Structures are given as C-alpha cells and as structure tokens.
Structure 1
Amino acid sequence: MSHLRSQAPPARACLLLSWELTNDQDLRRIRAELHHFFTARELDEPARNDDIAQRIGLVATELGGNALRHGMPPIVVRLLRDEDGYILDVSDHDPHHAPESAELPQQFRAGGRGLHIVRSLTRQLCWYATEDVKHVWASFPAPHERPRSTPRWGAADVVPPC
C-alpha cells in the first residue's frame, strides 16, 4: 500500500524542462541538465543554486529509477514552476500500481529507500493517476531570483517564461 498522499500538483504550474526517460544513462543526462539549468541562473544566494540543483537532481534520479524499474514506458520527467517553487513530476504508463515505500528493515540491505530519501529532500511528495498515466511528484522551495540585465542563456537553452 502506498504511503504517499494522492494529490495532483498545483494546476497553475508551468513547464520548464521535459525529458523522456528510457534507460539509466538518461538519468545522468537529466541530472547534468538540471545542474546547468540552476547554476546558470542568477540567484540571491549562489550556494542555493547548487543545493537546489543537487536536491532536484537526486530526486529525479530516485523517482526516474523507480519508474524504470517498476513502471511502464513511456516515462517522462518534467520540471515545473509555480509561484511557490519547483515541482519535479515523473510519469509512467502503469496507473494501476501505486508507488510504495519499503518498510525500513532492521538490517541493512540494498534498495528500497528511494522514496524515504526523496521525502527527506522535498517539501512535499505525492502521486496521482489518470486513466492511463501515473504521476509521482515532489515540490521544492525556490531560491530567490535577482533581476538580470542581460540573458545568460544561449539560443538553444532559452526556456519560455512561465
């Protein structure tokens, strides 16, 4: 049984980045692109750029890895933004099986701690399903952005404003 709350993310969130996930190598690419996205931005507290990039990257790896192991393709990882922060949404096409947190055993064993790790790094961790798709999503507070005088993104990196 799932220990996650069943709830859709805020409807007012807009899409920033999106990837289709097909294998473990894609997870490495997603983490690198998330790191670039956050560290190329001008924020009031530069140390928070790396922190949020690391947190969201690790959560993308955990949720994406779970979807690869337990879900059904296609698997899509999306970074969203709303006025409260960032939302990482991972979807797969197995809406009939809720995400499950493994009970923490008394003895150490490999695996089964991904959702526990994700919970410790996020503000909120939830899931919901439509008729064909299951979504597991996590929210993060946003670092405070400073106004920029000149863009720092290349033409291929431009993300439309929310």
Structure 2
Amino acid sequence: MVTPSDASTDADVDRGAALRLSRPSVRFTPVRRWVVRTVSELHAVRGEVRDEVTHGARGGGDPQLDQVADDAALIATELVTNAIRHGRPPVLVLLLRDDARFLLSVGDRARGSAPRLAGTRPAGKGGFGLHIVRRLSRDLGWFRTGAAKVVWAEVGPARFTGRHGLPG
C-alpha cells in the first residue's frame, strides 16, 4: 500500500533528493528491448515505445492507452537521456507489461551514485527530467545489479491508483 510519505514532495526539489532505492513491486512480462548508444537514437525508441504501448500487447488500439503511450514515450526519452549523459553507454532499455500497466527500465554501466532529483535551478538550466518522470509515473525507483545501475518507472491508465496521486 502506498502512503503519502512514500511519494517525493516539493521539498525534495530543494534538497536534490535521491530516488527511492527499490525494485518494481509488480511482476511484469517483457515486451521489447533496445540498446541505445547515443541521444540521436532516441527518436526511433520513442516512437517504438509509443507504438508498443498503444498497439502491441492487445493487437489493436485502446483509446485509454493513448495518453499512457505518450507518457511512456516521454519517460523513455528522459530516462535514456539521463543514462547517456550521466552514465556509461550503451544503455539497455526494457519495456515490460502487466495488464494495462507498463514498466520502463533503463540501465547503464555506471553503478556509482544514486540518481537524484535536480535541486532548485534558474530557468533554462535544465536538469528536470526526473521531475517530469516522477510526475508522469505511477511509481519510480532505481537499483543496482552486478554490472549496472537501473532506473525504472511504471505507467498506466487513470483507473490504477498512482503512487504520486496523479492520474497516469
């Protein structure tokens, strides 16, 4: 059960809070994977994530999944960009599914420090990708494996209760 204390708060923005160290709580089934080496490869991944969420697992479009597909594409963009800029490419991107929920998992070979939400910054300085992901996702976290750091985000339609109290 998710409680209000589980969710990141606006105060976390000022502290540059680390993401929650955890693994996804629901068992997901693999749908697709990509290996990304440069930011220029993101356009194709973004489109393919959107297509897989909208059409892939059900064999046809589900209108409720249109917004989820857009959110998933943006989340993939932000997580992969962070992994390429702050990690060590190549980056492994996994899209997984459990009913109408999807999990994006992005791993790179930089096992070092925990991913952190950007602190307060002047406009135009960037660094707010994880804030975007936090707002769009139902759950968000990270973990280490033997060789990688993995950041993951769960998305799904509004009928599922979101971790951050926002519709998916």
Change (3 A) 1:119 1:84: same
5 Å matches for 1:25-44? Answer: 25-40=40-55, 41-42=59-60
**TM-score, scaled to structure 1:** 0.78
Offset, 1:2: 4.7
**Which piece of structure 1 moves more, 5-14 or 135-144?**
135-144
Normalising by structure 2, report the TM-score: 0.76
Instruction: Give yes or no for contact 2:65–2:157 (8 Å, CA) kept in 1.
Output: no
Counterpart contact for 1:2–1:98, Cα < 8 Å = no
Contact 1:38 1:52 in 2 (8 A): yes
The structure-2 alpha-carbon separation of the partners of 1:39 and 1:131, relative to structure 1 and needing over 3 Å to count, comes to closer
Are residue 70 (structure 1) and residue 86 (structure 2) matched? yes
How far the C-alpha of 1:104 sits from its partner, in A, is 2.3
**1:56 partnered with 2:72:** yes
Gaps of 5+ in 1: 145-162
Q: 1:147 corresponds to which residue?
A: none
Q: Secondary structure at 2:24's aligned position in 1?
A: coil
Amino acid at match of 1:133: A
Give the CA deviation at 1:119: 0.5
Q: Cα distance, 1:73 vs. partner?
A: 2.1
The residue that corresponds to 1:87 in the other structure is 103
When the two chains are superposed, the root-mean-square deviation of aligned CA atoms in Å is: 2.1
Q: Which runs of 5+ in 2 are unaligned?
A: 1-15, 160-168
Aligned to 2:28: 13
**Change in CA separation of 1:123 and 1:110 when aligned onto 2, cut-off 3 Å:** same
SS in 2 for 1:20: strand
Deviation at 1:10, TM superposition (A): 3.4
- Superposed CA deviations along residues 110-141 of structure 1, whole A, max 9, x for unmatched, are 31100011101001110011231100000112
State the 1:53 CA deviation.
1.1
1:24-47, CA deviations, whole angstroms, 9 ceiling, x for partnerless residues?
A: 12211011112222333435x51x
Contact 2:31 2:97 in 1 (8 A): yes
8 Å CA contact retained: 2:144, 2:150: yes
Which amino acid is the alignment partner of residue 147 of structure 2?
D
Query: Structure 1: how far apart are the matches of 2:136 and 2:120?
Result: 17
1:122 aligns to 2:137 (yes or no): yes
Give the SS at the match of 2:81: helix
